[in-house]
Amino acid sequence: MQIKGEMLIGARAVRGQGRVIRGINPATGEALEPAFAGGAQADVDQACALAAEAFDSFRETGLEARAAFLETIAENILALGDDLIVRAMAESGLPRARLEGERGRTMGQLRLFAAVVRSGNWLDVRLDPAMPERAPLPRADLRQRQIALGPVAVFGASNFPLAFSVAGGDTASALAAGCPVVVKAHSAHPGTSELVGRAIQQAVADAGLPEGVFSLLFGSGTEVGANLVAHPAIKAVGFTGSRSGGTALMQIAANRPEPIPVYAEMSSINPVFLLPAALAARGESIAKGFVGSLAMGAGQFCTNPGLVIAQEGAALDAFVQTAATALAEVAAQTMLTPGIHQAYSQGTDQLQQHAAVNQAGVGIAAAGPNQCQAGLYVTSAEAFLADERLAEEIFGASSLLIKCRSTDEFARVAEHLEGQLTATLLLDEADTELARGLLPVLERKAGRILCNGYPTGVEVCQAMVHGGPFPATSDSRTTSVGSAAILRFLRPVCYQDLPPALLPEALQDSNPLGVRRLLDGRNGG
């Protein structure tokens, strides 16, 4: 499939008239062909009007039809073949193996949501039968199901050009819920976006769905993105990116005549607590595992371990030494964009210049454009608690170690943190009571708590929470990864005394969809 530099508005392919966007190969600085011209308000209007038009029909597609549609998207993405991988490599600087793995993850997500759609649990069917004889007042027949929220705006993320972009988790879960999707492509990988967009556009046509189920726009976040979020047809927003970008969308959404929910996954430094018994017993292997997690993919993960908390002493000194040795062998890796590389360099420069921070170790120096030199920095709990800036995310392979005088300071450091995607405990059995004391704080601060592992690596499954209190996300009640992500795009409707002929299939007495139901308050009805 050829990349033509075109937006996809329903069934059409359209050249924009706005400012030109080009993919840039961060490994060389080379600007890639073709040019993509950004969209204008008229393009936003058209995509949103088509989405609104498609909504009532798409949201009532049968479970099987909608599941098959998601599976077709996965197949069409695979059918793009190596062209997709080659283009994504050029636009992101990410290596082939990573992108092939990410393609598998993207397809796996679509297939998981196909299974979720088929199960029908998300319909959350609740039936309260009529009680005509009840005194003093009879009870009506009341039935509840979940329906789709409406057309959803999705913003592609830079750091997962496949799995969190055009056909990523937000798009997959919104389509699964029955919401048409209008994607604002990330300007860092427009060619990859067009290819994947065409795969979805083809799937819409293959399934005979209304064309407005999917559109893909190019343009800047402040123009096309902001106009999209402000459009009256849009009823929810999915976003993965920076804190400033996410909070800007939250403000636009809150100030609309009809405010809408924004699901923004933004900023997290993912604290890792090294508990004393574990640190003493196996500090060396922990240090090596930690550096592996820190340096993976140039640290460009939302769940990158940006903060380590441990008690000072010989065991920690040994940990630092092992980590520094491991870091010294970490090759510099190309970052996703020149902008991301520049922000990383500024962030680590500020750490280096901070009076209370020391450098504990660095990776191999950059040997080409936009390369990330990994780094581990050290400060005291006292200094950390005194300076809010030290808790800000530096996107990339850098981490700050907080030396505590005693483990009593662990909870204070934890309480001081803003909301996080993850919190990690490295522990041995002797650390159990200390961990038990920390857990309530960590539960309040993070969406996922993990033991004896590292936060990078987010399983796509039923139990995953990739979310957390602000600013990790804009809405701690949700996850953007895993099957529960579908719940973001649903709302309940109650049907009272509807004639059987008008009842939605999910709510009919005979349970033709075979879904899980709560019948008069009892499970399994």
Residues catalogued as catalytic = 265, 302
Give the phi and the psi of residue 367 in degrees, each rounded to 5: -120, 5
**Which DSSP string do the residues of 290-305 spell out, in sequence order?**
HHHHHHGGGG-STT--
Q: How far is the CB of 58 from a second copy (least distance, A)?
A: 11
How far apart are alpha carbons 384 and 363 in whole angstroms? 24
Residues 45-84 that bind a second copy (CB under 8 A): 55-56, 60
**Does position 505 bind a second copy by CB under 8 A?**
no
Give the phi and the psi of residue 307 in degrees, each rounded to 5: -145, 130
Residues 118-147 that bind a second copy (CB under 8 A): 119, 121, 124, 126-128, 136-137, 139-140, 142-144, 147
Hey, what are 481's tokens?
Answer: 């990864």
Residue closer to a second copy by CB (options 22, 59) is 59
**Does position 509 bind a second copy by CB under 8 A?**
no
Residues 150-179 that bind a second copy (CB under 8 A): 150
Hey, what are 125's tokens?
Answer: 């069917």
How far apart are alpha carbons 424 and 2 in whole angstroms? 44
Q: How far is the CB of 311 from a second copy (least distance, A)?
A: 20
Binding-site size for a second copy (CB under 8 A) equals: 83
Residue closer to a second copy by CB (options 2, 255) is 255
> Given the rule CB under 8 A, which of 68-76, 183-191, 294-302, 455-463 is the region that contacts a second copy?
455-463
> Given the rule CB under 8 A, which of 71-79, 156-164, 201-209, 473-481 is the region that contacts a second copy?
473-481
> Given the rule CB under 8 A, which of 40-48, 82-90, 363-371, 495-503 is the region that contacts a second copy?
495-503
Provide the 10 A C-beta neighbour count for residue 63. 20
Q: How far is the CB of 516 from a second copy (least distance, A)?
A: 5
Q: How far is the CB of 479 from a second copy (least distance, A)?
A: 6
Q: How far is the CB of 143 from a second copy (least distance, A)?
A: 5
Residue closer to a second copy by CB (options 278, 326) is 278
**Does position 355 bind a second copy by CB under 8 A?**
no
Q: How far is the CB of 233 from a second copy (least distance, A)?
A: 11
Q: How far is the CB of 413 from a second copy (least distance, A)?
A: 17
**Does position 292 bind a second copy by CB under 8 A?**
no
Closest by CA position to 204, among listed 106, 73, 79: 73
> Given the rule CB under 8 A, which of 39-47, 275-283, 330-338, 456-464 is the region that contacts a second copy?
456-464
Binder of a second copy out of 296, 484, 486, 506 (CB under 8 A): 484
**Does position 497 bind a second copy by CB under 8 A?**
yes
> Given the rule CB under 8 A, which of 170-178, 308-316, 321-329, 483-491 is the region that contacts a second copy?
483-491
Residues 396-435 that bind a second copy (CB under 8 A): 418-419, 427, 429, 432, 435
HSE of 139, CA atoms in CB hemisphere, 13 A: 10
How far apart are alpha carbons 489 and 148 in whole angstroms? 6
- Over the range 385-400, which residues count as b (16 or more CB within 10 Å of their CB) and which as e? beeeebbebbbbbbbb
How far apart are alpha carbons 9 and 7 in whole angstroms? 6
> Please, are residues 203 and 72 in contact by the beta-carbon 8 Å criterion?
yes
Q: What beta strand segments (E) does 159-256 contain?
A: 181-184, 214-217, 236-240
How far apart are alpha carbons 62 and 68 in whole angstroms? 10
20 alpha carbon, distance to own chain's centre: 27
Residue closer to a second copy by CB (options 246, 299) is 246
Closest by CA position to 239, among listed 199, 196, 190, 184: 184
**Does position 523 bind a second copy by CB under 8 A?**
yes
**Does position 277 bind a second copy by CB under 8 A?**
no
Residue closer to a second copy by CB (options 170, 194) is 170
**Does position 463 bind a second copy by CB under 8 A?**
yes
> Please, are residues 51 and 209 in contact by the beta-carbon 8 Å criterion?
no
Closest by CA position to 106, among listed 161, 154, 63, 53: 161
Hey, what are 68's tokens?
Answer: 């098959």
Bond before 136 cis per omega within 30 degrees: yes
